[in-house]
Chains A and B, each alone.
Chain A
């Protein structure tokens, strides 16, 4: 069975600094997708970034980028120039292509310090 692990329950970062959130996953499959979702205090789930496993190039969305290491089954999220609005719970999610359901990690709570 596939599993997703986020080993950092909580992280803190100074405003304007860079922080990296870790995510590892376990799968024997080769065709899958990985996501980072942000859940602010409103509890809305907001897509941050997506990575297709077949792509070697790391995905980037403005200040957010990932370090996807397929062999190591690692999918970390880097947030550059952190802003107060980045404070939220961040969930890493995995889906096997064709199964259409997400498996989430336990989340990392990010605090941004002014």
Chain B
């Protein structure tokens, strides 16, 4: 079965640079979530999209923005990167109203800011 795809899997950036993370949800899934997991931490919800509209917002810094495109893939744009942004970024997807709130996670993008 197809899973959530995230690219790139690993990313190294310098401080103050920008990064773009991509997420391709499971086919037919209409909702995408982004989570940030710092070293030794639990995942923290950043933002979600349903049918290309932002549906909820968590602890996402103003330096970050995201969107969902017509093909349902999503991109997380991160600007003015800081050392503290080094983390594993998960994307998850679901088919709202069908999947009983179950989110399926991608493998994550490991971002290292130097």
Write the residues of chain A forming the contact surface with B, with a CB cutoff of 8 angstroms: 33, 35, 37, 42-47, 50, 52, 91, 95, 97, 99-107
Contact = CB atoms under 8 A, between A and B. Distances in A.
Contact of A47 (B37, B45, B55, B104): B104
Interface of B: 31, 33, 35, 37, 41-45, 48, 50, 55-56, 58, 88, 90, 92, 94, 96, 100-105, 107-108, 110
B78 to A, nearest CB: 19
Contact of B105 (A33, A45, A97): A45
B19 to A, nearest CB: 18
Given A100-B33, A100-B56, A91 B102 contact: no
B56 to A, nearest CB: 5
Contact of A106 (B42, B100, B102, B103): B42
Contact of B101 (A97, A105, A106): A97
7 contacts: A43-B107, A45-B105, A46-B105, A47-B102, A101-B58, A106-B41, A106-B42
Contacts of A103: 45
B57 to A, nearest CB: 9
Nearest to A46: B105
A101 B45 contact: yes
Nearest to B96: A100
B100 to A, nearest CB: 7
A107 B102 contact: no
Contacts of A35: 102
Nearest to B37: A43
B42 A105 contact: yes
Given A43-B88, A100-B50, A50 B100 contact: yes
Given A33-B100, A100-B31, A100-B50, A42 B107 contact: yes
